[in-house]
Amino acid sequence: MNERLNDLYQRYLENACSEEELQELRSFVTNPAYERELAALLDETWDNLNATEASTESTKDMHLLYRRIVTTPQRKQLRRKWWPYMAAASIACLLVIAGFYVYFLGVHSSQPVAVRQQLVNDVAPGGSKATLKLADGSTIDIERVEDGRVKSKSGLEVVKQQGQLIFSPSITGEADTGYNQIMTPNGGQYQVKLPDGTQVWLNAASSLRFPAVFSGSERKVELTGEAYFEVAKNKDQPFRVNVNQTSTIEVLGTHFNVMAYPNEHTINTTLLEGSIKVSHGKRSSFVSPGQQVRIDKTGIQVVNADLEEAVAWKNGLFQFSSTDLRTIMHQMERWYNVEVHYTSDVSNKKLTGLISRNTNLSNVLRMLELAGSVHFQIDGTKIMVSP
């Protein structure tokens, strides 16, 4: 056992790590060489918890609380009786992000489970893939382009830089008034910096259409699929997102996520920062941070949101909270570019859990099997689901 790793781990459980020590612990967690030692430490922690007061209900409560400490694991105001459970869970989450462990709660399992076996048939996770369609009609497969200048034309510069496309008005030449479009396939995602400085993260099977130069009284883009926006502030030029040609989001500068896939029952707009107005037909709603607007056939509904779950995909995670299995499998289809078929009805199955998106499909399916009474078979790009 590495003495430094063990010391940092124990200090973490005691809520005594400094920021520097926390970063050092994370460096151990993300190093595959320490997988076995991390697994042993985590198993020991869970054994100790189960030997004391870690009842089933406590474990469920811990799962609801652990997500709050993933980003700020050193919160001093936490009550002492919860700290052991929350510390263990946040360590589990670090292991999830590293790709070594997954954490799922369900009918049959409420403990972290090490993923060690791979199915013979397997599918790798998605990655940075996108196609760019320029106003002149030309298309570019971004995955095949090296970092550097992608396109330079009248009024527009396009640069690829570490998994991101950066659009900026050219110093020379007349402004291009045409529209560009970036499209991600199933199994792809991409980050874009728009000409006004707005940052956009596109999830799989999504499309964003936007002008080469934002001119006039507004900045207007068109979205299908899912995207996370960090809008550059400009009070004189509001930012508007036209979603599926059915609804509009108006904003001056803010952070929000839009999920608008055709095969989902609702269009969900989740606000993290700032304020937005969502319009659908003749109805509109103003939204505050921490809220989500849901649009379906019956109209608009504003509810309190689980912010971490809404943007988990952007942070490299699948995150579910009493989510029905079909919705979960929609995410699998988009990220792994597979087709899901069902041999019987699974509408009553709901699961809660967290797992890295940077893992093979077999790992995810195995955890779903452990979490509920369901079985999977991979046949090429087809997934068969049965009780």
Residue-wise pLDDT for 271-324, tens only, equals: 999 999 999 988 999 999 999 999 998 889 999 999 989 999 998 888 888 888
Residues 327 and 237: their CA atoms lie apart, in Å, by 37
Helix axes 3-13, 35-51, angle to 10 degrees: 40
**So what's the pLDDT on residue 114?**
37
What's the structural domain count of the chain?
3
In a domain, 110, yes or no: no
Chosen domain end from 78, 98, 118: 98
Residues 58 and 206 in one domain: no
Residues 84 and 180 in one domain: no
**So what's the pLDDT on residue 364?**
84
**So what's the pLDDT on residue 120?**
54
Least confident of 245-259, 313-327, 370-384: 370-384
Residues 135 and 230 in one domain: yes
Q: Where are the alpha helices (DSSP H) in the chain?
A: 3-13, 19-29, 35-51, 56-66, 83-98, 307-310, 325-336, 361-371
Residues 152 and 219 in one domain: yes
Q: 181 or 380: which carries more pLDDT confidence?
A: 181
Dihedral sign from CA coordinates of 50, 51, 57, 63: negative
Residues 1 and 34: their CA atoms lie apart, in Å, by 9
CATH code for position 240: 2.60.120.1440
- Winning range, highest mean pLDDT, from 17-31, 94-108, 131-145, 179-193: 179-193
Chosen domain end from 260, 279, 309: 309
In a domain, 214, yes or no: yes
Q: What is the pLDDT of residues 142-190, one digit of tens each?
A: 999 888 888 776 567 899 988 899 988 765 555 556 889 999 999 999 9
**So what's the pLDDT on residue 49?**
54
In a domain, 371, yes or no: yes
Q: Does 200 score more than 90 pLDDT? A: yes
Residues 132 and 231 in one domain: yes
In a domain, 334, yes or no: yes
Domain that holds residue 339: 313-386
Q: Does 350 score more than 50 pLDDT? A: yes
**Are 369 and 376 contacting, i.e. CB atoms less than 8 angstroms apart?**
yes
**So what's the pLDDT on residue 31?**
63
Residues 280 and 371 in one domain: no
Mean pLDDT of the chain: 78
User: What distance separates the 2 farthest-apart alpha carbons in the chain?
Assistant: 72
In a domain, 338, yes or no: yes
362 φ/ψ angles, rounded to the nearest 5 degrees: -60, -35
Q: Does 266 score more than 50 pLDDT? A: yes
**So what's the pLDDT on residue 45?**
65
